[in-house]
Every structure is written in structure tokens, then in C-alpha cells.
A and B are shown apart, each in its own frame.
Chain A
Amino acid sequence: MLDRGLIGLRLPQATTTIEAGRIRRFAEAIDERGALYNDEQAARAAGYRSLIAPPTFVTTIRLDAYPAGDLYALAGLDLPRVLHGEQEFNYGVPVCAGDTLLLESEIVDVYEKSGGALEFLVVATTGRNQFDELAFESRSTLVLRRLPERTT
């Protein structure tokens, strides 16, 4: 069972630099063909420093800064039980390739439903760019399901 004492646990600050190739590969994986996410010249012509990150690339930034395994080890999560329950983003300034982001992340809630059959862990993360502008806030709810009894 998850320890409610995890609430308020802050992960160490982390910095990550956004690579243009990483944005392009991500855009390819969701078949996002918009020029601003794929073509640096088009992005610059539109007034951005470089390629901009698609909206859900925020989770990739978070995973690059905080490998999921680290959080799971810290919170004692059993990987096969983990599902993604909810995801919320609030956006500030756009994230551009070449930006260096400072991330701060905290476990903000732990609770259970259905008499403990499902447990929930909520992680809030903020990202600020090299100009100290807020780029995003992310709130991820992980669900821990109870594993079925092994029959073999």
C-alpha cells in the first residue's frame, strides 16, 4: 500500500536541454506534421527561436529529466501495476529547441478507491526556461491496480 507520507515529497531539481531532433522524432511518432514542429526555418520565420514542442511533449521533457524508474523506486511503485489515470497540462510560453528547462517535481497527493483495489499517486511538475519564464505545469495521476492472482 502506498504511504500517504509521500505527499509533499519533492524530487531534486533537474535541468534538461531540448534537442531539435528529439522534437522531430516525437512529432513523427504522433504523426504531427505541422511545420512549426518539424521545420526550423518555418518556426523561425513564425517568430520562434527554433522548433516548438508539441503540447504533449511536456511528458517527454519530464521523463528525460526524471526517469520514471527513479520515481517508482522512490515511491515504491511496482512497474507492472502502474497505469496512467489522468494528465493535465497548463501552458505558459512555448518550449523551443535549444531551451534549457529547470524542472521541479513533487508528489502532491496519494489516495485510494474501491477499498484499496486502486491506489493513486499524483505528481506535479513545473518547467521554467532559461529566461525564468514558466513554460508548463504538469499534473500526472498514476493508478496502481491490484495484479490478478497468478494461475501458473
Chain B
Amino acid sequence: MTLAAVHALAPGDELEPLVLPPITRATLALFAGASGDHNPIHIDIDFAQAAGMPDVFAHGMLSMGYLSRLLTERFPAGSLREFKVRFAALTLVHDVIVCRGRVRNVETIERARHVTLDLEATVPKRGITTLTGHAVLALPF
């Protein structure tokens, strides 16, 4: 998005959705090592099953990382002030995640435009929402 387009955002506007490739076991192994979250419940099916799960499932922070790309790919670096999510449902192997953002509010505070976005990650094929949250960005004029 150009800076002009970012500044023109108004409540109700939707960001172009980000559609991710299907989650694979390799995605999870790579994320475990790269993120430092080594909880075996995400990478070791034996451990997951002993913990009462049918299979491994994705790290919540993987989805939050994907959701962050909605922001980093569209807004200037350093403009993100606040980013919060609730992990509403587990993301499973083979899930195709779609990340969406919609402008909730725009206001001018101290010579910057503050944009509040409602965010969500969904798995349309299973009809579920896995993450809900919001972000606040401060865009200097």
C-alpha cells in the first residue's frame, strides 16, 4: 500500500486478505526451531497423543506471525504500536489459514494518524476462527 492509501483508510475498509499455504509438519518443525518454542506438542505426534490430542497442532505464535504480515506488508515499519490476539481455536496440520483486517477506527493524536484494525485468522474449510485481535498503528503525517 502506498503511504497515501494508508492515510486514506476509513472505518469499515478491509485489507486485502492474506491466504497462507497449507500448514505442514515441516512448517511446524521449522517454526519450532526458528521461534525457540520447542514445546513437543507441536512437533512430536507421540507427545501430542499422550497429551490427549489426535495429532500435533500449530503454534499460536505461527498464526500471529502470519497475521503480523498483514501489517508489515502494508504499513511502514515502526508504525505498529499495539498488537493483541486471542487464540480462539487450534490450527491443525493441513489447515489453510486466511488472515483478514478491517479498519475499526481512525483518529488523529499528536500529529499522527492512529488506525485501529480488527484482525482475524480463519480456516474457511473448517468454518472456524482461530485468532481474533486488533492492532493499533501510528502513521506520522
Contact = CB atoms under 8 A, between A and B. Distances in A.
B47 A56 contact: no
A3 interface: no
B84 A86 contact: yes
A117 interface: no
B47 A80 contact: yes
A84 interface: yes
Contact of A30 (B65, B83, B87): B65
Contact of B69 (A30, A59, A63, A88): A30
B73 interface: yes
A83 B35 CA distance: 16
Interface stretch (B6-14, B56-64, B100-108, B120-128): B56-64
B39 A68 contact: yes
B127 to A, nearest CB: 21
B33 A25 contact: yes
B60 to A, nearest CB: 4
Interface in B48-85: 50-52, 59-62, 64-66, 68-69, 71-73, 77-78, 80-85
A80 B77 contact: no
B41 interface: yes
A52 B86 CA distance: 25
Nearest to B131: A87
A85 interface: yes
B14 to A, nearest CB: 20
User: Which interface residue of A32, A52, A80, A90 has the most chain B CB atoms within 10 A?
Assistant: A80
B77 A94 contact: yes
A60 B61 CA distance: 10
Chain B interface size range = 35 or more
A74 interface: no
B83 A85 contact: no
B65 A29 contact: yes
Interface residues of A, number: 37
Nearest to A85: B87
B34 interface: yes
A48 to B, nearest CB: 8
A59 B86 contact: no
B88 to A, nearest CB: 10
Contacts of A55: 68, 71-72, 80, 83
A45 B59 CA distance: 34
Interface of A: 22, 25-26, 28-32, 34, 36-37, 46, 52, 54-56, 59-60, 63-64, 68, 79-91, 94, 147-148
10 contacts: A34-B77, A36-B77, A56-B61, A59-B37, A60-B35, A80-B41, A80-B50, A85-B86, A87-B84, A91-B82
